[in-house]
Structure 1
Amino acid sequence: MSDFVNNFWSVYVSGITMVGILACLILLFVTARKKVVSDEDNTTGHVWDEDLRELNNPMPRWWMWLFIITVVFSLMYLAMYPGLGSYTGKLQWSQTGAYDKEVEKAKADLEPLYARFTAMSTEDIAKDSQAMAIGERLFMNNCAQCHGSDARGGKSFPNLTDGDWLHGGTPDRIHETIAKGRIGMMPPQAEAVGSPEDVRNLAHYVLSLSGSPHDSVKASLGKSKFTTCAACHGMDGKGNTMLGAPNLTDDVWLHGWGEQAIVDMVTNGKMNQMPAQEGKLTPAQINVLTAYVWNFSHKQGSAN
């Protein structure tokens, strides 16, 4: 009922529910009292296909009582569980509450399994075959949707296997990224750079930093405009992991390569978000996941 914006919908749902139950009771009452005048041979007088006749036998009592029990059960159910609009029921049950209990139970059951990983370093966890098997499942369930099952990412989703880290690739920085999440923002800079031609020249200068194909004349004209970008990316274009500003000299293009891709980035800006896993995963699970992700670009062997 969280999508309902006022009390009308709560009353509306409750009304339809109760009217439906009441209609069932009325139908049962009317059917039970109705008497059908039968012929001498105990038929209703209806004939189908010339010789198929309907007997006038009463409704089986077990069927009638089963119908009544069903109605009574529905009333009891609505009293105990949510079903009448915003009424939460005597038991205060909810899908969210049931899910939270299952998660807490799962965490308690798995705590002994993760206990030995809590005090281990990232490097040691990365060498543990059991930890890496657990890390693989954690990655598939929580990270692969964006970074891919092979962790190679895609356009706008970082490749975790190439050693190119926006916010740093040390265990501590990876742990921080997983736990707290990241928000990356490239503000629109076209107005600060100058004319559309200046933006295109700047794009060619950025391409030249990584040795990518570019127009050298336009790149030379765009070099002076790079001061607008240097505040985050540095004068040498090597980026800043504290700001999450990418290295522009390594030929790794997160949001697309080429003049037009860079022009669009400078003109429109970009915002990316890595959701925080803290609260969703336990500290021990984050430790294991950190080691699993760190291992992609460091290739540690499993010892056992």
Structure 2
Amino acid sequence: MSDFINNFWSVYVAGITLAGIVGCLVLLVITARKKVVSDEENTTGHVWDEDLRELNNPMPRWWVWMFVITIIFGLLYLTAYPGLGTYAGKLQWSQVGAYEAEVEKAKAELEPLYARFTAMSTEDVSKDNQAMAIGERLFMNNCAQCHGSDARGSKGFPNLADSDWLHGGAPENIKQTITQGRIGMMPPQAEAVGSPDDVRNLAHYVLSLSGSPHDSLKASLGKSKFTACAACHGMDGKGNTMLGAPNLTDDIWLHGWGEQAIVDMINNGKMNEMPAQDKKLTPAQIDVLTAYVWGLSHKPAAAN
């Protein structure tokens, strides 16, 4: 009911609910007081299949009392719990409150489990089998929906198992990303670059930075247009982790590879968001998840 824009709908819902209960009570009283008028056989006169007759008996008393008890229960329930528009109920119960209470209870129960990890460094936690088992479950429940169960991401979602990091791959950078989230924005640059041909020439120059297949003539023409991009990506195209600007020289493409993908990016820009997890996870859980994610790109080399 919190999304109602005025009090009318709250009163309307409460009125309909109470009117329904009162209507049931009135109907029950009228039915209970009505005297049964029957013929000699005490039937309603309705006959089915030639010999099936409906008896005209009054409603059993126990049945009447069941209806009365149900109505009383409904009124008591609506007094104690929310159900009448925006009225919160005497017990002040809510789904949000119940959820938060369960979360707090779970946090208290799990706190001893995480206690020994809080004093350890990220590197040491990443080598602890129990911590990594917990980190994997945290990742599956909170991160795999976007980054994939293998953490290798997909188009628009970064691969966490390589060494390419938009905002830096140090433990503190990863922890900050998980805790506070990230908002990445590439503004449209077509007007700053020039004509559609200039945009395509720039796309070929960007491809040339990573050694990707490109037209060298168009790339040479587009080099001067790269000044529109250098403010974020740097004149050498190696990006800026402070801004989350990708390295354009490493042949890793978050939003698609090729001339058309780059042209679309220049023309339309792009906005991505990594949601903050500090409302879902405790600081101890974030520490373990940080170690798990950091460990994905820092696995020890296999022995020969």
Q: TM-score scaled to structure 1, two decimals?
A: 0.96
Contact 2:36 2:58 in 1 (8 A): no
1:97-246 equivalence runs, <5 A: 97-246=97-246
Residue 19 of structure 1, CA deviation: 1.2
Structure 2: distance between partners of 1:264 and 1:53: 78
Task: Name 1:31's counterpart in structure 2.
Answer: 31
Contact 1:168 1:174 in 2 (8 A): yes
Contact 2:36 2:57 in 1 (8 A): no
Q: Deviations over 1:179-199 (max 9, x none)?
A: 111111111111111111111
Structure 1: distance between partners of 2:231 and 2:243: 10
Task: Name 1:276's counterpart in structure 2.
Answer: 276
Aligned residue type for 1:3: D
**Percent identity over paired residues:** 82
Task: Name 2:15's counterpart in structure 1.
Answer: 15
Structure 1: distance between partners of 2:37 and 2:226: 98
Aligned residue type for 1:291: A
Q: Deviations over 1:104-158 (max 9, x none)?
A: 0100010000101111111111111111111111111111111111111111110
Residue 35 of structure 1, CA deviation: 1.9
Task: Name 2:291's counterpart in structure 1.
Answer: 291
Q: Deviations over 1:54-93 (max 9, x none)?
A: 2233221111101100000000111111111111111111
Structure 1: distance between partners of 2:134 and 2:201: 49
Contact 1:188 1:266 in 2 (8 A): yes
Task: Name 1:55's counterpart in structure 2.
Answer: 55
The CA RMSD over aligned residues, in Å, is 1.2
Question: 5+ residue gaps in structure 2?
Answer: none
Aligned residue type for 1:252: I
Contact 2:118 2:287 in 1 (8 A): yes
Structure 1: distance between partners of 2:31 and 2:155: 66
1:75-90 equivalence runs, <5 A: 75-90=75-90
**SS state of the match for residue 47, structure 1?**
strand
Residue 173 of structure 1, CA deviation: 0.9
**SS state of the match for residue 44, structure 1?**
strand
Q: Deviations over 1:158-203 (max 9, x none)?
A: 0111111000111111111111111111111111111111111010
Contact 1:45 1:53 in 2 (8 A): yes
Alignment of 1:262 onto 2:262: yes
Structure 2: distance between partners of 1:50 and 1:263: 82
Q: TM-score scaled to structure 2, two decimals?
A: 0.96
